[in-house]
Structure 1
Amino acid sequence: MHIRRSMTALALTGAAAGALAFGASPASAAASAITYDCTSTGQVCIYYNSSSYGYGAVFRQTSDVPNYAGRYFSAGRNGSAGAGVEVKNHAAAVDSWVASNFTVYFNSNYDCSVACQTVSAYNTVNLNANIKNNNASGRVT
């Protein structure tokens, strides 16, 4: 246990030194890093904010959702900004922990006639301008 803590402390010190070497302050380096709310396969975390704003509140999705109305963000490991806000038309980023693609749709019922964005398996992305704050449904595709 003591060895594991020492190795973790050494790794963190090295990461901070690396961030300083590239001109980033430790605070700004930490602000851009995601602290995972999804931690097991089969989950998708949808975030209220994009990476540049620290992600904020989270909605954990474990099955397809044809309409995000009536579903709400909760405070998570990345903060509480957006907690209590409805997920529909308020999402900015997706953290996928599924082995398939995950698609976010502009319209309810997985309708891509206006716009949609597909996130590849095990990927974390900010939603594009067509989908950010214009999300109505999401499913594994």
Structure 2
Amino acid sequence: MKTAQITRILIGLALVLAVSMVIPMPPAHAASRNGACDSGEFCYYYNSNNAGSISDFPAELLSLANYGTDPATCYVFMTKGRSGYNQCIKNSAASVWNRTSETVIVYYNSNYDASVASQAVAPGFKGNLSSQLKNNNASHRAQSTGEPPAHPGPYPPVVRTLHQEWAGEGKCLDSDYTGEVYMIDCNGGNYQKWIMYKRVGVGGEDPMVIQNVQTGLCLDARDRDWNTTEDVYTHPCNGGERQLWHDLGAGLDLREPGVRARLMNDYYNNCMNALSRGTDGVKWWPYLGDTCAPDGWGLQWWSRRV
């Protein structure tokens, strides 16, 4: 009897060991994530209206350039018993909840590339991704990180401050969460920092998409109203023609040090000018009311401060 009991025990242990060897282990990065959206986390949901399985990201994972697509190693939805469980999150999220204290930007492409689309998710926001980002999420970044990491391709994105030298003895292009764009004294803050992406092969001249570091919104041009100068603003990044800008000048690239150039909107073919408005003498305003001057009229010249 003892021999038979020992044999049964050994067989049982062998079966347990065999089963444990074939059960896939979760990726190492899953250790600090539990499928619940806790305070201080940024979370993706598989379904709209914050339904379905959850993929939660604590503070140390608030910036991720690539989610991966291999089921064995990718970031997945982790809430068991809900739709989407254990699926890779890349291009599979429909809604978000930002339970952190800072804005998190969701990107259409990997490596924080906003050249097609991006969405700035404000602290506390709970709801659906935009129509462009729904099921098109490939990376996310906390806005406070500022300079994006290395990016593939011939034109890595860079962060620059746009300085208007002729405007009130020098002003820097600034913006806010409402989409208003203006120029005030240069202060080095994130509202005055712009990420410049080159769209290789678009329009034949590699135009730029220009995204504000703080808000995550992209420099855009409104429908023209010849009675107003408020035609330059920021808008969620969508890769459209109105969000494409050319730095005019033979071989000039505003992304490089020591360069002064004009910024022409791809849609209107007009250059961004500086205009003083109001009596406080503090704010100047950009507008597209003039064609690009062949001689580089002073209020059309922009340079990089950093």
Q: TM-score of the superposition, structure 1-length normalised?
A: 0.67
Aligned identity (percent) is 39
Structure 1 equivalent of residue 88 of structure 2 = 86
Residue correspondences, number: 101
Corresponding residue for residue 38 of structure 1: 37
> Shift of residue 39 of structure 1?
2.3
Among residues 66, 77, 95, which one is paired with 1:73 in the alignment? 77
Partner of 2:52: helix, strand, or coil? Answer: coil
Identify the match of residue 60 of structure 1 among 56, 65, 68: 56
Q: Is the 8 A contact 1:119 1:125 kept in 2?
A: no
Which residue in the other structure is 1:123 paired with? 125
Instruction: Flag the structure with higher helix content.
Output: 1
Amino acid at match of 1:74: M
Q: What secondary structure, in the 3-state scheme, does the structure 1 residue paired with 2:51 have?
A: coil
- Once the two structures are superposed, the pairs formed by residues 129-140 of structure 1 within 5 Å of their partners are 129-140=131-142
Return the alpha-carbon distance in structure 1 between the equivalents of residues 102 and 94 of structure 2.
20
The offset of 1:140, in angstroms, is 1.1
Stretches of structure 2 lacking an aligned partner (at least 5 in a row): 1-34, 69-73, 144-306
Higher share in strand = 2
Query: Structure 2 counterpart of 1:47, which letter?
Result: Y
Q: Deviations over 1:93-139 (max 9, x none)?
A: 11001111111100001110000111111111200110000110012
Inter-partner Cα distance in structure 1 for 2:121 and 2:127: 7
- The one-letter code matched in structure 2 to 1:48 is Y
Q: Which residue of 2 aligns with 1:32?
A: none
Structure 1 unmatched runs, 5+:
1-35
Q: Choose 1 or 2 for highest CA Rg.
A: 2
CA distance in 2, matches of 1:101, 1:94: 12
Structure 1 runs, 4 residues or longer, greater than 4 Å off: none
CA distance in 2, matches of 1:95, 1:129: 16
Deviates more, 1:96-105 or 1:62-71: 62-71
**How far, CA to CA, are the matches of 1:56 and 1:117 in structure 2?**
21
In structure 2, C-alpha distance between the alignment counterparts of 1:124 and 1:37, rounded to whole Å: 14
Q: CA deviation at 1:74?
A: 1.3
